[in-house]
Amino acid sequence: MPTALITGITGQDGAYLAKLLLAEGYTVVGLMRRSASSDVIGERLRWLGVLDHVQLVDGNLTDLSSLIRIVQEHRPDEVYNLAAQSFVAASWRQPLLTGTVTGLGAANMLEAVRIARPEARFYQASSSEMFGRIQAERQNEHTPFYPRSPYAVAKLYAHWMTVNHRESFGLHASSGILFNHESPLRGIEFVTRKVTDGVARIKLGLARELALGNLDAKRDWGHARDYVRAMWLMLRQDQPDDYVVATGRSVTIRDMVAIAFGCAGLDWREHVTTRQDLIRPAEVDVLLGDATKARERLGWEPSVTLEEMLAEMVEADLARHRARQRG
């Protein structure tokens, strides 16, 4: 029975990945950052029904000693580094924290593996935000990067450190350059979940309008459940490598909003307002991924459409708010 260590296990991707690996027969150990909200920190794992089947251990990406200790104790066969300060908007307000956790934290995890378990296979969660001001109409593994936020800059450092550990020390270290991926477990601060939660509140009479920023930005959105499968497939390969994971379909935030409101039988134009203070200091206008390599080498394909994903998210948010009303 292989053992997997997941950093960021209590987040959206970590929870879905834990469920996948458990189904594949893994022992799953999750790194948990101690916080004041520890009583609710496992809610995503509980929502998926796997909280009681994973082992949560205290550690922090900024504390190399804790990472080495955990790797020595659990001797994972695979390490998935998903933890990060992952909210792009917050990275302008907390650039040093973002750099420390998202960038240097990944380097710490790589060093812990190199020192204590060099035979383990390593996955780094890279991001399409690294492409930033896009240098090609469709972005693949050869497209130059042009980060446009402190978050993207930190992710780029982590990405190249992963490549460097692979080439310098022979680690089986792969990066997944994942385009936007969402689910009912997405944090409320992210635009898709902000929209579906707003739809639910408006539908139930709990709100009348939803304030958003730039509606013209275009994104390539998939479902997190599909994307964690790609992570796992990367570590099944004999040779480590980097892969773009995307649907190949890009729509504007405006179109995404229209689809989400339509799931509840609402006209978005009657409820959505725009606010200048919600627009990023430096916008990423378009992201459109080319996942040809992942399809050909990993046999990976997305299975959930944008419309299906948004319908699932709206229904989940409706159920959450109805439960609160009853409670």
CA 6 to chain centre: 13
Over the chain, what is the mean pLDDT? 94
What angle (nearest 5°) sits at the alpha carbon of residue 184, between those of residues 183 and 188? 100
Which residues, 6 or more positions from 326, have their beta carbon under 8 angstroms from its beta carbon? none
For the domain covering 187-219+250-284+304-326, report its CATH number: 3.90.25.10
Q: CA distances (Å), 180 to each of 54, 115, 195, 231, 245, in order?
A: 26, 33, 15, 14, 9
CA 150 to chain centre: 16
The pTM assigned to this predicted structure is 0.95
Beta bridge partners of 123: 80, 174
Share of the chain above pLDDT 90, in %: 88
Query: Residue 104 in contact with residue 153, Cβ under 8 Å?
Result: no
Q: What does the alpha-carbon distance between residue 121 and residue 314 come to, in Å, rounded to a whole number?
A: 36
List the structure tokens of 231: 């992570």
pLDDT-based confidence at residue 88 (cuts at 50, 70, 90): confident
State mean pLDDT over 194-200.
Answer: 97
pLDDT-based confidence at residue 145 (cuts at 50, 70, 90): very high
pLDDT at 204 over 80: yes
Q: Kindly report the number of other CB atoms within 10 A of residue 24's CB atom.
A: 12
State mean pLDDT over 115-144.
Answer: 97
Could you tell me which of 233, 202, 183 has the C-alpha nearest to residue 48?
183
Q: In what order do the strands lie in the sheet with 55-58?
A: 55-58, 27-32, 3-7, 78-81, 121-127, 172-178, 242-245
Q: Which residues of the chain does CATH 3.90.25.10 include?
A: 187-219+250-284+304-326
pLDDT-based confidence at residue 36 (cuts at 50, 70, 90): very low
Q: According to the model, what pLDDT value does residue 153 have?
A: 95
Per-residue model confidence as pLDDT tens digits over 279-304 = 777 777 899 999 999 999 999 999 99
pLDDT at 39 over 80: no
CA 196 to chain centre: 18
Low-confidence winner among 22-31, 103-112, 203-212, 274-283 (lowest mean pLDDT): 274-283
pLDDT-based confidence at residue 119 (cuts at 50, 70, 90): very high
Architecture of the 3-181+221-245 domain: 3-Layer(aba) Sandwich (3.40)
Pairing of strands 251-252, 222-223: unpaired
Helix (H) / strand (E) element for 68: namely helix 64-74
Give the catalytic positions in this structure: 127, 129, 151
Q: Rounded to a whole number, what is the largest CA-CA distance in the chain?
A: 58
Q: What does the alpha-carbon distance between residue 48 and residue 184 come to, in Å, rounded to a whole number?
A: 11
Q: Which residues of the chain does CATH 3.40.50.720 include?
A: 3-181+221-245
